Amino acid sequence: MDFDFIVKSIPLYVKAAEVTLELSFWGILLSLIIGFICSLVIYYKVKLLAQVVQIYIELSRNTPLLIQLFFLYYGFAKIGIKFEAYSCAIFGLAFLGGSYMAEAFRSGLEAVSKIQIETGLSVGLNRWQLMRYIILPQAFSVAIPAIGANAIFLLKETSVVSAIALADLMFVAKDLIGMYYKTTEALTMLVVAYLIILLPISLLLTFIERKVRHAGFGN
């Protein structure tokens, strides 16, 4: 192992990690928004829109991110819709993640029992108040583990964006291998970088999940 090389390449990896994290942040945030809206559309069985959302979810869940990105980035460019690689990556992540988050929220919403809803109605809440005070808080606590798992899944999926020429962690590692043949060093750094990002998040999620599952409300 060439430790000088590793030390010298640290700034490159830090910068690349920033790209990975930034893309993940926006991707996950948009996924949450899209997923939340889609789950409500399905929950309330909004006419027509519910079908559209269902089609989107199936398309998104049954195709690979890499193909979605290529289609978006290279395919759409040729018919006049051009994305920057950066926004394309975020858009692709959101397209993929939106359906996963929608499923997470939806299962949370469906877990709220009919009797809870009726009880909410019987204390005089209107539809909006029912959503705000009864359904959403209960649905969220059920959905949190799935939302967390999806967030990690999306963070890992960002490794694919190097394929559309974005300088993320994967890209830097590939670059260093290609240019200097420092395969072992580059790959070690790559793994270390992902571990530094993913280990704390994954541990935090395990902790939260355990809390939600075993304690529930009132402990």
Partner 1 sequence: MQDLGINVIFEGSNLLRLLIGLWVTMRIAIVAIAISVVFGIAFGIVMTVKNTFVQIVARLYLEAVRIIPILVWLFLFYFGLTKVLHIHLGAEVVSVIVFSLWGIAEMGDIVRGAITSLPAHQRASGRALGLTDLQIYRYIIIPQAVRRLIPAAINLATRMIKTTSLVVLIGVVEVLKVGQQIIEVSILKTPSASFWVYACIFALYFIICYPISLWSKKLELKWQNQ
Partner 2 sequence: MSQKTQEKLLEIMNLKKQYDDVETLKDISLDVHKGEVVVVLGPSGCGKSTLLRCLNGLEEIQGGQIKLNGEVINADKTKWHLIRQKIGMVFQSYDLFPHMSIIENILLGPTKAQGRDKTEVLAQAEKLLTRVGLLDKKDAYPRQLSGGQKQRVAIVRALCMNPEIMLFDEVTASLDPEMVREVLDVMLELAKQGMTMVIVTHEMAFAKAVADRIVFIDEGQIAEIAKPQDFFNAPTTERAKRFLNIFKFNEESER
Binding site for partner 2 (CB under 8 A): 115-116, 118-127, 129, 133-134, 137-138, 141, 216-219
Cβ neighbours of residue 204 under 8 Å, at least 6 residues apart?
none
Name the binder of 115 from partner 1, partner 2, none, CB < 5-8 A by kind. Answer: partner 2
Query: In this structure, what are the phi and psi dihedrals at residue 29, rounded to the nearest 5 degrees?
Result: -60, -50
Residue whose structure tokens are 């359904």? 135
Name the binder of 204 from partner 1, partner 2, none, CB < 5-8 A by kind. Answer: none
Q: Give the nearer residue to partner 1 in terms of CB position, either 11 or 80.
A: 80
In our burial notation (b when 16+ CB lie closer than 10 A, e otherwise), range 161-180 reads bbbbebbbbbbbbebbbeee
Q: Give the nearer residue to partner 1 in terms of CB position, either 68 or 150.
A: 68
Q: Give the nearer residue to partner 2 in terms of CB position, either 51 or 129.
A: 129
Name the binder of 116 from partner 1, partner 2, none, CB < 5-8 A by kind. Answer: partner 2
| Interface residue list for partner 1 (CB under 8 A) | 58-59, 61-64, 66-68, 70-71, 74-79, 156-157, 159-160, 162-163, 170, 173-174, 177, 183-184, 187, 190-191, 194-195, 198-199, 202
CA distances from 23 to 7, 26, 99, 148, 193 (A): 25, 5, 18, 17, 16
Estimate the crossing angle of helix 3-43 against helix 136-157, to 10 degrees. Answer: 140
